[in-house]
Amino acid sequence: MLKATPTLKEQLPELREGQSVALLQALHILTREGKLNQDTRRKLKQVNHLVQFIEPLLQEALDARGDVALADHGAGKNYLGFILYDLFFKQRTQGAVYGVESRTELVAKSSELAQRLGFDRMGFLACTVAESLTHPALPETIDVVTALHACDTATDDAIAFGLARQARAMVLVPCCQAEVASVMRQHKALQLKRSPLAELWRHPLHTREFGSQITNVLRCLQLEAHGYQVTVTELVGWEHSMKNELILARKMKPDRPGEWARSRERLQQVLDELGLQTLQSRFAV
């Protein structure tokens, strides 16, 4: 007896129900033959997993105000924006996705692809995350801010954008944060005399890793001090990516000023304890 030909879903269990094969081929995640290689399989798994966190946030905003806008910072080739549009926005008549990317050639390619696919509620801005704060093409209300592997201080700029727009939620996967580690290196000798805790970053490798960890701790405290409930988890298993920390922040009702004040105090104490006062303005509340 002949075996039934396996369905595409059976061949590619990474695909979500109803996910566009044509889109994934256009993004070069799937080959023309509908295959995945090891790198694209990992990328698709990461993005689809992240989408599962974002979809409920989009639906909450849509239910609350009848519309929803998402800004994706450091968007690159807009994998996240396109897949979100395909899985969430395409089935609805409201909502828009905005991709912010400084490389003009990637913005041009994304614009062409969105037009070809009929994704008419996608917009693309050729600017830095910092420049997007005042960009006229972005609506005043942005409900969800995302930044997937936005390098170094671009994640901080995305947080600043979300705070300025009073976003309902932020979804951040930081990458390559070097600024805090650089400041720690400058004051290493002084800190070693001052505190035995400086042994945590005495060696260069530890400085880099500890600096990265503290950067995200400071970001979480900053978000909490602005009234966000913060959850930190893994995006995917460590075998798929070393840049794996997922920070989810949701704006809470303004009824916990005491907790926000404690987060502000903790933030300042961490800056003072680690000799990071020069970064006060970046993490200021």
pLDDT digits (tens, 9 = 90+) for 52-97: 999 999 999 999 999 999 999 999 999 999 999 999 999 999 999 9
Over range 217-238, report the average pLDDT. Answer: 89
Distances (CA, A) of 110 to 90, 116, 169: 17, 10, 25
Residues 108, 169, single domain; the answer is yes
Nearest partner of 228 among 245, 261, 246, 253, judged by Cα: 253
- Higher-pLDDT residue of 193 and 183 is 183
Nearest partner of 99 among 87, 86, 108, judged by Cα: 108
CA 198 to chain centre: 30
Which residues, listed in sequence order, are joined to residue 228 by a DSSP beta bridge? 251
Residues 129 and 71: their CA atoms lie apart, in Å, by 10
Q: Which 3-state string (H, E, C) describes the chain?
A: CCCCCCCHHHHCCCCCCCCCHHHHHHCCCCCCCCCCCHHHHHHHHHHHHHHHHHHHHHHHHHHHHCCCEEEEECCCCCHHHHHHHHHCHHHCCCCEEEEEECCHHHHHHHHHHHHHHCCCCEEEEECCHHHHCCCCCCCCCCCEEEEEEEECCHHHHHHHHHHHCCCCEEEEEEECCCHHHHHHHHCHHHHHHHCHHHHHHCCHHHHHHHHHHHHHHHHHHHHHHCCEEEEEEECCCCCCCCCCEEEEEEECCCCCHHHHHHHHHHHHHHHHHCCCHHHHHHHCC
Residues 59, 103, single domain; the answer is yes
pTM above 0.85, yes or no: yes
Share of the chain above pLDDT 70, in %: 93
Cβ neighbours of 234 (radius 10 Å):
12
Over range 250-263, report the average pLDDT. Answer: 86
Give per-residue burial for 3-30: e unless 16+ CB within 10 Å, then b: eeeeeeeeebebbeeebbeebbebbebb
Domain count, the chain: 2
Residues 125, 185, single domain; the answer is no
Share of the chain above pLDDT 90, in %: 60
Residue 245 lies in a domain: no
- Residue 279 — very low, low, confident or very high, per pLDDT cuts 50/70/90? very high
Residues 282, 153, single domain; the answer is no
Residues 98 and 81: their CA atoms lie apart, in Å, by 8
Residues 156, 200, single domain; the answer is no
Residues 192, 273, single domain; the answer is yes
Q: Give me 150's structure tokens.
A: 């936005």
Domain boundary among 176, 193, 211: 176
Which residues, listed in sequence order, are joined to residue 148 by a DSSP beta bridge? 173
Residues 144, 279, single domain; the answer is no
- Tell me the per-residue pLDDT of 28-46, one tens digit each, with 9 for 90 and over: 998 888 888 888 888 888 8
Residues 79, 195, single domain; the answer is no
- Give residue 222's domain range: 178-226+256-285
